[in-house]
């Protein structure tokens, strides 16, 4: 009997490479034992992803480190052709000179995507990285980033993610402005940073850190923003100015579709002199999520009202009240909801979720405002931070009395 035909080995090389790319690099190398035809098939794979799973587990850290270095070095030595993606995710390798050698090799092989997720250490990004001008994606974690003077930016970069990076503030701004095609930007774990962003093609922005101030100077294409802002005990950690931060931060993003803010983001937006109506209408904004909003602060409530009344196509609203009232203001005499806000309509708002509601006047008035201005509202989910059962029931009874302009609007009360 003749040998059975080897259909897999006779597949086009592009399909074989696609199959190998879906395997871990360790499993891809194991295919070399299938037959002589497969011995070096793996060596042309363009995407290389390395982590501790590439080597046998051991309780000895030095053994894992040594084996991982040997494995990565061996793969690169035997590899043929361009390498488009290189990802190294490990806490075992921090400031090994081997990483410098790997990056030098990659800089000469047309690298397009580079991800370095290292453990906490003192790894300094080598100068050869800044000659990788074909990069379209760069992610660095726990590194020191100090470009040479001749570096003008990555002209092809579309995605930049920097996590816990040691870098000068002016370097970050220069890097961002030197990437004209940048579409995705994520910066996390930065301290006391005043940040100015100029990125004409930026679409997705994620910020997480202790930012003192943020300027979006040229970001007209932004569609999604997520910001977590931290600060010390005193609000004066934020830069104080008569300019309204809500306008300064969100005044130039007409295409915004989703806005998410955590911790002190709403507090930050509330700083400055309110100009009245905003100079922009967010016609594309469909989702707003703001967490730990202080409803005792009239300025923060005003930020909420400004945003929802300037987003005529808003569909989903999620708000959590601040569980700790850090900025108490007297609620008496607060006439915000006695103004003309009930003349507004939220014609597309369908779902609302409010959590950590304590039953103070401004929280309840805000819910009443939503019920009275949302003709297609379907569900409003409420969870309370109140411990006293009688107080919680009293709040529920009051909420159920509020008039609703939507005949389909229903309350859903959740137990914490």
Q: Write down the pLDDT at residue 179.
A: 97
34-56 burial by CB neighbour count: b if 16+ within 10 A, else e?
eeeebeebbbebbbbbbbbebbe
* Residue of higher predicted confidence among 277 and 84: 84
Percentage of the chain beyond pLDDT 90 is 58
Two structure tokens written together for 35: 């037959």
SS3 39: coil
Rg over CA atoms, the chain: 27
Greatest CA span in the chain, whole angstroms? 96
Q: Write down the pLDDT at residue 287.
A: 98
Measured between alpha carbons, how far is 261 from 309 in angstroms, rounded to an integer? 18
DSSP letter assigned to residue 148? -
Say whether pLDDT at 254 is over 80.
yes
**Window from 12-21, 33-42, 272-281 with minimum mean pLDDT:** 33-42
Q: Write down the pLDDT at residue 327.
A: 47
- Rounding to the nearest 10 degrees, give the CA dihedral for residues 225, 231, 235, 237: -100
- Cβ-contact 83, 106 below 8 angstroms: yes
Q: Write down the pLDDT at residue 332.
A: 41
* Residue of higher predicted confidence among 50 and 337: 50
Say whether pLDDT at 225 is over 90.
yes
- Average pLDDT rounded to a whole number, residues 302-325: 90
**Window from 151-155, 280-284, 285-289, 385-389 with minimum mean pLDDT:** 385-389
Say whether pLDDT at 257 is over 90.
yes
Residue 333: pLDDT band with limits 50, 70, 90: very low
Say whether pLDDT at 27 is over 60.
yes
- Cβ-contact 128, 103 below 8 angstroms: yes
Say whether pLDDT at 2 is over 60.
no
Q: Write down the pLDDT at residue 155.
A: 95
Q: Give pLDDT tens digits for 107-140.
A: 988 899 999 998 887 789 999 999 999 999 999 9
Q: Write down the pLDDT at residue 125.
A: 92
* Residue of higher predicted confidence among 336 and 73: 73
- Cβ-contact 285, 314 below 8 angstroms: yes
Q: Give pLDDT tens digits for 145-197.
A: 999 988 999 999 999 999 999 888 889 999 999 999 999 999 998 887 889 99
Interhelix angle 389-401/361-373, nearest 10 degrees: 30
Got the DSSP string for 195-254?
EEEE-TT--EEEEEEEEEEEEEEE-TT--EEEEEE---SSGGGSPP-SS-HHHHHHTT-T
Residue 244 phi/psi, 5-degree rounding, is -75, 120
CA quadruple 70, 74, 77, 79: dihedral sign? negative
End-to-end CA distance of the chain: 71
| Cα 34 versus chain centre, distance | 43
Say whether pLDDT at 324 is over 80.
no
Q: Write down the pLDDT at residue 9.
A: 64
* Residue of higher predicted confidence among 150 and 18: 150
């Amino acid at each position: 009997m003749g040998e059975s035909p080897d259909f897999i080995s006779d597949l086009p090389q592009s399909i074989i490479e696609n199959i190998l790319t879906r395997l871990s690099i360790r499993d891809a190398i194991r295919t070399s034992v299938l037959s002589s035809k497969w011995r070096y098939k793996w060596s042309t794979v363009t995407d290389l992803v390395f982590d501790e799973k590439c080597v046998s587990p051991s309780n000895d850290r030095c053994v894992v480190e040594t084996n991982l270095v040997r494995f990565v070095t061996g793969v690169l030595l035997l590899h043929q052709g361009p390498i488009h993606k290189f990802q190294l995710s490990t806490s075992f390798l921090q400031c090994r000179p081997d990483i410098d050698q790997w990056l030098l090799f990659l800089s000469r092989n047309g690298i397009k995507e580079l991800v370095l997720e290292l453990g906490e250490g003192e790894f300094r990004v080598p100068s050869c990285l800044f000659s990788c001008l074909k990069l379209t994606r760069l992610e660095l974690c726990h590194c020191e980033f100090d470009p040479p003077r001749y570096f003008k930016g990555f002209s092809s970069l579309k995605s930049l993610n920097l996590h816990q990076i040691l870098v000068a503030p002016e370097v970050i701004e220069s890097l961002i402005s030197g990437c004209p095609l940048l579409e995705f930007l994520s910066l996390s774990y930065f301290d006391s940073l005043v940040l100015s962003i100029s990125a004409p093609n930026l679409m997705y922005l994620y910020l997480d850190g202790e930012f003192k101030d943020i300027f979006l100077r040229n970001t007209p294409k932004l569609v999604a923003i997520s910001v977590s802002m931290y600060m010390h005990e005193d609000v004066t950690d934020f830069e104080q100015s008569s300019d309204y931060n809500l306008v300064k931060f969100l005044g130039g993003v007409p295409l915004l579709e989703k806005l998410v803010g955590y911790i002190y983001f709403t507090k930050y937006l509330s700083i400055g002199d309110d100009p009245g109506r905003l100079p922009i209408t967010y016609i594309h904004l469909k989702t707003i999520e703001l967490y730990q909003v202080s409803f005792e602060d009239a300025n923060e409530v005003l930020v909420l009202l400004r945003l929802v009344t300037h987003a005529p196509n808003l569909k989903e609203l999620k708000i959590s009240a601040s569980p700790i009232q850090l900025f108490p203001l007297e609620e008496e005499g607060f006439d915000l909801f006695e103004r003309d806000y009930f003349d507004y309509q939220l014609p597309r708002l369908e779902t609302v979720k409010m959590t950590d509601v304590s039953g103070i006047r401004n929280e309840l008035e805000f819910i009443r405002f939503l019920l009275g201005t949302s003709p297609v509202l379907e569900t409003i989910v409420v969870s309370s931070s109140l411990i006293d059962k009688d107080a919680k029931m009293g709040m529920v009874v009051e909420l159920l009395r509020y008039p609703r302009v939507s005949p389909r609007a229903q309350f859903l009360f959740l137990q914490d």
